[in-house]
């Protein structure tokens, strides 16, 4: 859940953010990251050089994890025609997820809050990853009393070709999965799945060497217990085998979570996530979250080793 901390001045998309080769990379949260060519793109809530507006999305890319290039405005709240159909007094955008298929790009996003009306997930389409994105014209998923429709992530199974939408979180902490039609903007069917242990929100799916890794956030988003856990399965929809926590608070960084995994051109894996850079203490934390990037390592048995959050020795991005 990403809402209350996200309401402030505005999202600045016009200035290149140059940062030193260390974490944190920039202010922002809920980063969905992916390699596009030899650049790492991050699609966050918020972003470099700006505060929280929660009324639009931007994207940022880097070839070296030192200099971040703003990629412009993807879509604004006032461009989503159906957003006011529920009659709620206010709406906010957060937690984007991006996928590509058939030369098109698809931006999935959360519209909240959950109350007084249910949250919703929308999808918009573009010809380029940096947009502009055109809304599909209707919500893809609408929440209900026991399910908060937030934190969308789309995974395209390299084995079966199936396209899966993962979503859900905070209110009820329920994970749901749907199979999408090839058009990427319509649901074919819902796939019943068990809730993995310690699941709260922010699901992410990736596949490695035939094993499917479902990773997700646990705990209160603005508290010290926020963390990343994972489970493995023989398919994109389970059954889940819980494998434990891989990213937890330490003496300099609190509440790491809402992450994505990326495989770089040199074959390494990275975890891109947000955190509060502060000493331990009770929540709720206030202020801005920051995006950080660290190396992800697998043991010989395929398990993910716990991630050590870094500052000065953050990874770099090199093409092979």
In order along its 320 residues, the chain shows pLDDT tens digits of 443 333 333 333 333 333 345 899 999 999 999 999 999 999 999 866 544 568 999 999 999 988 999 999 999 999 999 999 999 999 999 999 999 999 999 999 999 999 999 999 999 999 999 999 999 999 999 999 889 999 999 999 999 999 999 999 987 799 999 999 999 999 999 999 999 999 999 999 999 999 999 999 999 999 999 999 999 999 999 999 999 999 999 999 999 999 999 999 989 999 999 999 999 999 999 988 999 999 999 999 999 999 999 997 777 776 44
CATH number at residue 250: 2.115.10.20
Q: Residue 53 domain-assigned?
A: no
In-domain check, residue 7? no
Distance CA 42, CA 165 (A): 19
Query: How many structural domains compose the chain?
Result: 1
- pLDDT tens per residue, range 273-314: 999 999 999 999 998 899 999 999 999 999 999 999 999 777
For residue 265, what are the CA distances in angstroms to 80, 128, 262? 35, 21, 10
- What is the predicted pLDDT for the residue at 315? 77
- Cβ contacts of 125-130, under 8 Å, gap ≥ 24: 125/184, 125/185, 126/74, 127/103, 129/36, 129/41, 129/59, 129/71, 129/98, 129/100, 129/105, 130/59, 130/71, 130/72, 130/74
Instruction: Look up the pTM and report it.
Output: 0.92
Question: What phi and psi values does residue 83 have, to the nearest 5 degrees?
Answer: -65, -30
Q: Is 195 inside any structural domain? A: yes
Range of the domain at 175: 74-296
Is residue 6 one of the residues assigned to a domain?
no
Answer yes or no: is 36 within a domain. no
Q: What is the DSSP string of 219-257?
A: S-TTSTT-EEEEEEESSTT---EEEEEEE---SS-EEEE
The answer as to whether 66 is a domain residue is no
Cβ neighbour number for residue 279 with a 10 Å cutoff: 9
Q: What is the mean pLDDT of the chain?
A: 90
Please check whether residue 141 is in contact with residue 159, taking contact to mean a CB–CB distance below 8 angstroms.
no
207 domain residue, yes or no: yes
In a domain, 65, yes or no: no
């Amino acid at each position: 859940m990403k809402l209350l901390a996200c309401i402030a001045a505005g999202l600045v998309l016009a200035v290149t953010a140059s940062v030193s080769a260390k974490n944190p990379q920039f202010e922002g949260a809920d980063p969905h990251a992916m390699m596009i060519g030899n650049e790492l793109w991050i699609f966050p809530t918020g972003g470099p050089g700006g505060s929280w507006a929660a009324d639009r999305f931007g994207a940022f890319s880097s070839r070296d994890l030192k200099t971040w290039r703003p990629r412009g405005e993807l879509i604004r709240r006032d461009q989503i025609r159906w957003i006011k159909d529920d009659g709620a007094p206010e709406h906010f955008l957060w937690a984007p997820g991006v996928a590509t298929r058939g030369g098109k790009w698809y931006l999935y996003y959360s519209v909240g809050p959950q109350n007084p009306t249910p949250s919703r997930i929308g999808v918009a389409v573009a010809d380029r990853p940096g947009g502009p994105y055109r809304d599909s014209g209707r919500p893809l998923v609408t929440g209900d009393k026991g399910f908060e429709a937030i934190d969308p992530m789309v995974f395209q199974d390299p084995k079966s070709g199936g396209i899966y939408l993962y979503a859900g979180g905070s209110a009820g902490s329920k994970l749901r999965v749907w199979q999408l039609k090839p058009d990427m903007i319509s649901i074919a069917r819902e796939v019943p799945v068990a809730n993995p242990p310690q699941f709260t929100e922010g699901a992410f799916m990736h596949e490695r060497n035939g094993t499917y890794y479902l990773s997700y956030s646990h705990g209160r988003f603005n508290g010290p217990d926020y963390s990343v856990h994972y489970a493995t399965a023989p398919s994109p929809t389970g059954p889940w085998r819980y494998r434990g926590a891989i990213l937890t608070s330490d003496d300099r960084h609190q509440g790491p979570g809402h992450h994505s995994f990326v495989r770089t051109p040199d074959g390494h894996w990275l975890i891109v996530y947000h955190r509060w850079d502060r000493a331990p203490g009770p929540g709720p934390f206030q202020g801005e979250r920051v995006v950080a990037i660290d190396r992800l390592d697998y043991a010989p048995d395929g398990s993910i080793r716990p991630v050590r959050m870094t500052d000065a020795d953050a990874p770099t991005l090199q093409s092979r």
